[in-house]
Amino acid sequence: MAAFVRKEEHLKVEWDQAWASCGVAPERLVPHWSFLVKKYTGVGRAYHNLRHLEQMFMALEDFHIPADRPLLALAILYHDVIYVVHRRDNEDRSADLAERHLLEAGVSPSVAGRTAHLIQLTKNHQLAGSKDHLAPILLDVDLGILGSPWTIYEQYMQQIRREYRIYPTVLYRRGRVQALQHLLRGERLFHSPAYIDRFEERARENIAREIQFWQG
């Protein structure tokens, strides 16, 4: 319980600072914060939870973050707020929710739209022609787990399986292998030079090893 409280407290600081930088008093948004925490701590969230958000914020230390870090923070906090394993529009719904909350709080449409755009990019983890300099950072810290040492990657693999436990192994195995093979077919998993140099090779090795596990 203590570890959970520390994660929530740290993320609440990020939340408060991001909204304050947008000119919005965080006290106005207590219900929104409670809603996010409830979503990220929901039943079945074995990986896409507060720990995932905390790891993404920790990974920001690898980057030089420009003055618009608050916008990046909001994109991180909202990017998986809607997560239902049998749906294919989670990122779109998360983006729509973030944009609505920002607009309702009085944030400019340009900032709200930009935040939503960043979240939508996490659907396929491709820049898709985006010129936003925050996009490579968001996408790389979101998938950074792929380049972890195998012992950590293996935990991630098991956590994802638990999130999809509604599916029998035979169906999950097929879908997971297809998704992983799709990742490997891309030219790059990561987009920033730092992550390509440090993690690309190991991430591909991890993914290939997971594919072998499910096919074995």
- Classify the C-alpha dihedral 205-206-209-211 as positive or negative: negative
154-201 per-position pLDDT tens digit: 999 999 999 999 999 999 999 999 999 999 999 999 999 999 999 999
103-112 per-position pLDDT tens digit: 999 999 999 9
Identify the burial level of 149 via C-beta atoms within 10 angstroms of its C-beta, where 0-12 means exposed, 13-18 middle and 19 or more buried. exposed
Token pair, residue 45, equals 């969230």
Q: What is the largest CA-CA distance in the chain?
A: 54
55-91 per-position pLDDT tens digit: 999 999 999 887 899 999 999 999 999 999 999 999 9
Token pair, residue 115, equals 């935040």
Instruction: Determine the Cα–Cα distance for residues 36 and 27; give it in Å rounded to an integer.
Output: 15
**pLDDT tops 90 at residue 7:** no
Residue type, 79: H
